[in-house]
Amino acid sequence: MGKIGAISAARDAASAAGWPLADDLRAEFGHVSTWVFDLDNTLYPADCGIWPLIDQRITLFLADLFGMDCQSARALHQHYYLRHGTTLRGLVEEDIDEAERFLEFVHDIDRSMLKPNPALAREVARLPGRKLIFTNGSRNHAILTARQLGLDGLFEDAFDIMAAGLTPKPEEAAYDAFFRRYSVDPGKAAMFEDVAKNLVVPRARGMKTILVTPKPGQDDHRQAHDRPDPLVAASLADVVTDDLGVLLRRLNDALG
Ligand SMILES: [Mg+2]
């Protein structure tokens, strides 16, 4: 096969696998100089068992705080999530001043089942420009989880829910606080997220948006309403991927 034929075959293979082509990635992401990553279920896969541990501890915290049985606490947990976006936001709205104790308690988990991901670390390191974590969890959770994944030292900082004044994504104020804190021009930034609604504001502000989904058949421990409808996902994300490491490798190869 001649060179043109080989290039054409490679393009066909990439296209058939559903991957954006290098030319398209360059055109879409060539101007990006700040790469923003959600943490939970984005930098680690949704089936790895970490999120259910946090989820259970949120319920346990509510049970203890209100003196409830676990079933009632679970129902309250769901109620807060649906009504306020996060449990912590629900507590804040009810003037319950427990943010720091809540964050410390729910993130006090064993992360040892999370395997280091050197391939992902290599590609995050290669991205041209600034790299930041933007999480609705705590900064300490982001640091410990990144360390467990072998990603420590690769991010400029981790912006957390305390830094956002207890206002979580997907609320606009959370993104505004983030953009201000790091002087980020959203028109030159990209956002990686597993929750589609958290891409609404980034997209409206001109960020490139990447939705990270579980692989087909993989366990998905996220809340049912956080699992995006494919049509909604397509309308909010410039790229949808079930393999963040491979996408970043393709991006780096395209941009290099
Ligand atoms: Mg997430």
Which of 206, 211, 137, 200 has the alpha carbon at shortest distance from 171? 200
Specify the pTM: 0.90
Q: What are the tens digits of pLDDT across the range 77-119?
A: 999 988 988 899 999 999 999 999 999 999 999 999 999 999 9
The alpha carbon of 217 and the centre of ligand 1 are apart by a number of angstroms equal to 19
Taking the centre of ligand 1 as the mean of its atom positions, its distance from the CA of residue 161, in whole angstroms, is: 13
Q: 209 CA to middle of ligand 1, Å? A: 14
C-alpha of 167 from chain center: 16
Give the start-to-end residue ranges of the domains of the chain.
Answer: 20-47+116-255, 50-106
Across the range 152-172, mean pLDDT stands at 96
Number of alpha carbons in the 13 Å side-chain half-sphere of residue 32: 27
Strands (E), the chain: 34-37, 130-134, 157-159, 189-193, 208-212, 239-241
To which CATH superfamily is domain 20-47+116-255 assigned? HAD superfamily/HAD-like (3.40.50.1000)
Tell me if 178 sits within 8 A of 169, measured CB to CB.
no
What spacing in Å lies between the alpha carbon of 194 and ligand 1's midpoint?
A: 5
pLDDT at 176 over 60: yes
CATH architecture of 50-106: Orthogonal Bundle (1.10)
Distance 136 CA to ligand 1 centre (A): 8
